[in-house]
Amino acid sequence: MGKHLVEKMEIFKANSKREIHKKIRLVTNEPYKITDERVTKLGIFKKQYEVTAVIMSEVAIADGRMDFQETFQKSVVKTRPKTDDLLKKEKLLEMLAAGAELAQSTPLLEERKTQEEELSAMRLELAALNRELAVKMREEREQNSDFVKFLKGRGISDTYVADFMQAGRKQFKQVETAHLDDITDWFIPYLSGKLAVEDSFDLSNHRIISLIGQTGVGKTTTLVKLGWQLLKQNRTVGFITTDTFRSGAVEQFQGYADKLDVELIVATSPAELEEAVQYMTYVNCVDHILIDTVGRNYLAEESVSEISAYTDVVHPDLTCFTFSSGMKSADVMTILPKLAEIPIDGFIITKMDETTRIGDLYTVMQETNLPVLYMTDGQNITENIFRPKSRWLAERFVGTDRRQVLE
């Protein structure tokens, strides 16, 4: 008796697709395929889903039925196009058969021993070819799997796709045929363990706070949101901006400062910035000084030098590199080495409401080991900022946005 996987069709009914998936899993843990799906309305608001699924089941086949299986396998092999590897294998098999006959017919023991050694070497070579072919076929199936399509659809680079596939093989017998629901149930906690967030971070422990980042990423609005977070804790705040080049930047910032009843000072040079910090410290006596640096193209060396000149005179307690969720990881990883002279403590990711592809963010987090301290997802200065949890980031990556884990 031998055990073999066979396909069979069954009908499953439930009130949701998720329940249908669970019912199928009660029947089999092997891969399955939905061939037909029907929806029946039960009243005004209820629906019943009915699907026809092709599932794999393990059955015992008597030895007497093996001839049919062997014949079927031979017919399948005949229909396959002969690749170079297959032609080579056939030639080796012919040589094996010829060598075996010769070994039986010759009376010379030494010649037979030589032939057996040659046959043994051929068998080893054939086994190696089989293993190599099996690996190539598995890799091809994996590249076309739902899991790989899922990862690439969310912007994950090929390097990290390979890492996730390696982890998936340890969890599933055949990750390339595993159902996507099963994969995501495992993937969310696995991914959350690989994401760096600073759970013990407390903004109120930092007196001078500076944001740096390219033009247009939302630094000014984000700085105002941080100010609001501190004001909620009954802390006093003062704003300083060095961004006098962007049209309307100061006027926009002043409008936000007026809403929060916070003083704003404009500094047009490193010397004026140092003087403004002294004023906020010894005259205005605020608990926290929040500095908005000038937005520039950080790919240009002169822009980096200008930012360094400002940060060198104040030495912020907290410096956050701010970039939008839609920014390419390659651009971020090009900019950060140029800012090596500026100590960066973490990231603030803006405009999380404007993208679903956060694979680039994952790449940046993995290659820098810097934590994501805050995220923003809108223009409301009192609401649209939060400290992400690793679980939320993982769920957002998969596509299940559950903000109950936000602070």
Mean pLDDT per 10-residue interval, the chain, length 407 residues: 70 86 84 82 78 76 53 50 61 65 59 79 82 70 78 84 86 79 86 79 95 90 96 96 80 93 94 95 96 76 76 92 91 89 92 83 88 91 90 80 37
AA identity, residue 162: A
Q: Looking at the domain 2-61, which fold is it?
A: Dodecin subunit-like (3.30.1660)
Tokens 């705040």 -> residue? 237
Q: Looking at the domain 203-405, which fold is it?
A: Rossmann fold (3.40.50)
Q: Report the pLDDT value the prediction gives residue 302, as an integer from 0 to 100.
A: 62
Q: Report the pLDDT value the prediction gives residue 374, as an integer from 0 to 100.
A: 94
Cβ contacts of residue 374 below 8 Å, gap of 6+? Answer: 222, 225, 226, 320, 348, 349, 385, 386, 387, 388
DSSP 8-state symbol, 356: S
Q: Strand 46-61 to strand 2-14: parallel, antiparallel, or no bridges (unpaired)?
A: antiparallel
Q: Report the pLDDT value the prediction gives residue 88, as an integer from 0 to 100.
A: 65
Integer angstrom CA distances of residue 273 from 111, 213, 218, 297, 320: 93, 18, 21, 21, 18
Q: Report the pLDDT value the prediction gives residue 114, as an integer from 0 to 100.
A: 78
